[in-house]
Chains A and B, each alone.
Chain A
């Protein structure tokens, strides 16, 4: 270990819509899988086998490289009891760790607050996507929400020279004015924070150079943006992005293939990029989806289910498989779905405590068994 230990960073990649667990890490040797999935089942000769029971989806070859290098943990059977099988509700539960009531505080918002309690950095958390995910929502915690890094900032629609003039006026207009009241002051400070965050962020693509070619996909674009901000050393600790929709009720075969192709290639490029810059050792990535999908296909796709799969990747991850693949025997299913056997809050707890060194209980709302997937 050197004395210049870098601050730990997390990148969360949310697979929105309900990723089909059984077609991601495929129990190819199980007869029930074949019998249950006459239409969407992946033929055994296409499966990328990782042991005698489980194989990866054929489009996951790029992340298989990370798995083979010992940098990828596959976590089986994740979820929580009594899946509501609703996208919105289930995603909320993953975001707020509140399965029994409607929560409003996001777990990563709380992590961000703990990492930067005095709000010294407006870029401690950066989200790539149109909307702020509830995982990052917490009153008083600033989060930069970036749609497109190359086009990020106030008034992107105005041509450059004129825009600079306008932003110059903007900064003056938002400067403190005496006697206009607390709300005007608050608006002013927020406007200046916004401008500051945007000013810093827009430098990221300018100082970036890499030989890594990212594929042409929306998720690769987001991951490239994350790499650019990370490599620019702005002190960002929490990154968030999402991809989807994985809601494969119909025509699943081509759709799910494309989704995993884009995600896998994007992840491979991302880690290659960080490694090229010697900047990967303090980054972990976490992939999850709000639920898995039904065991038996519906003749075209699969419907909402319960238990799913999560992944943790990075230099500091202890690669391998964690947890047991849940039984697909009919008598073990709940409403036709495999039952989760690992609580997602335990997976979070590992990251909160063993990666960030924070107390997990107030962040995940309870004590949950951790999983030893960190080095």
Chain B
């Protein structure tokens, strides 16, 4: 049972944003493979009610330029969703193919991309790239609206190859130029009327009069190529499968070196990346199929605590676990600033290269934020999830310091900590002796303080 719980907790941390012990037990009852299938079939579960957000937090619904509400709707969905993998995968796609309000100044367009990722994120990579190429957010972010036959702008064409599909070294400068020419005329129209906070909706449009109808040669193929031809040709390249497979591995399995080093540093598990790349190629880049391979693989199951949580994971997993945030709540806007304070301002990526991950999430400011945020939440026994943990610890009856520590570590994960950390936790618990909640009035505080010390551990920064 304990091994099953540990494995399920691992799956839910990676394929979602963690789960309470009650949910883990339920899922273990259903089984691992069946849980993977459920996660891969989001439509089998109810979706988050967008109208509820609109009713209680209308600014979050059309947040225009309001920073306080920019990512609030998404945060609410990540906390409340019964489709955790759909949300997690949207985060994956957003982090791989980001746009940011620092340039777009248009949260509706940013949120629209997130909804698109939720809709098609488990489908074919080709559709995801096409939708990206046509999204008003990206059209503006990488200047394709200024890319015309008479004045080619290479921003989108270059990043499509370098950052979103193949990686450097797999194409030439001529290919960048030719790809950019193929995307000339891909732009958007304004939709009237203007939104309440000053932003027009926009929709993709193709303007043939701006398109370069000349012959182009891209990665060896010649013709009057258009943007969709470019994406088709990109998907014929083995480099694309390798690149996407490594990103999936990095996001779902274990932290890799930073992306700019991928050209010179081989994957930490070449066989795993190969297996994922094969799965992509065999299925025309079917993401659902590839994730099924990933989650059922031994390399995934064995990669426990091999990733530093990103700030979105810290915030969302904490709120899901402590409970009480499932409905649009007062303070949602402020809450949606928290991951930004920790260095990951969702929908406002610092640059098109996305965030550096792994240990680079951590600096003295962000570490303090991560610890204080989490500790504040777990220190509040009035929150239903915390109360559940406290109650389950209490059910153990009279506990020695070591039993108390074991019980808390188990219910908070189960977490795997070093012997040195365990020794400190036990020594801390020892200061107040055995815990007997039938006589100790201070029992609840003792438990929540231990939980606070646990979330302060280095080990807790890992997923």
Contacts and interface: CB of A to CB of B under 8 A. Distances in A.
Given A142-B364, A170-B456, A177-B420, A102 B352 contact: yes
Interface residues of B, number: 49
Contacts of A137: 350
Contacts of A145: 365, 368-369
Contact of A173 (B340, B359, B421): B421
A142 B368 CA distance: 12
A172 B371 CA distance: 16
Interface centre among A139, A142, A143, A172 (most CB of B within 10 A): A172
Given A143-B365, A154-B371, A158-B452, A187 B103 contact: no
Interface string B354-388: 00101110111101110110011001000000000
A165 B428 contact: yes
B206 interface: no
Interface in A186-218: 186-188, 190-191, 193-194, 197-198
Which interface class (under 10, 10 to 19, 20 to 34, 35 or more) fits A?
Answer: 35 or more
A92 interface: yes
A157 interface: yes
Given A104-B351, A139-B356, A173 B368 contact: no
B308 interface: yes
Interface in A119-148: 122, 130-132, 134, 137, 139, 142-145
Interface in A148-173: 153-158, 162, 165-166, 169-170, 172-173
B420 A173 contact: yes
Contacts of B358: 183
Interface stretch (A49-57, A61-69, A83-91, A260-268): A83-91
A88 B102 contact: yes
B101 A88 contact: yes
A243 to B, nearest CB: 16
B9 to A, nearest CB: 21
B379 A157 contact: yes
A158 B449 contact: yes
A84 B363 CA distance: 32
B418 A180 contact: yes
B202 interface: no
Contacts of A143: 363-365
A279 interface: no
Nearest to A86: B105
A184 interface: yes
Given A155-B456, A191-B367, A197-B364, A165 B105 contact: no
Contacts of A182: 359
A86 to B, nearest CB: 4
Contacts of B308: 183
A174 interface: yes
A194 B367 contact: yes
Interface string A299-342: 00000000000000000000000000000000000000000000
A198 B379 contact: no
B341 interface: yes
B457 interface: yes
Contacts of B128: none
B453 interface: yes
B376 A188 contact: no
Nearest to A179: B418
A104 B350 contact: yes
A92 B102 contact: yes
Contacts of A156: 372
Contacts of A86: 65, 103, 105
A173 B364 contact: no
Contact of B102 (A89, A157, A184): A89
B461 interface: yes
B359 A155 contact: no
B364 A193 contact: yes
30 contacts: A84-B105, A86-B105, A89-B105, A102-B102, A104-B350, A122-B364, A130-B341, A131-B337, A132-B341, A139-B356, A139-B360, A142-B364, A145-B369, A154-B456, A155-B456, A157-B376, A158-B375, A165-B428, A166-B456, A169-B425, A169-B427, A170-B456, A173-B458, A183-B255, A187-B359, A187-B458, A187-B461, A193-B364, A197-B364, A198-B368
Q: Which 9 A-B pairs have the closest CB atoms?
A: A145-B365, A86-B105, A194-B364, A88-B102, A187-B458, A102-B351, A177-B420, A183-B359, A169-B428
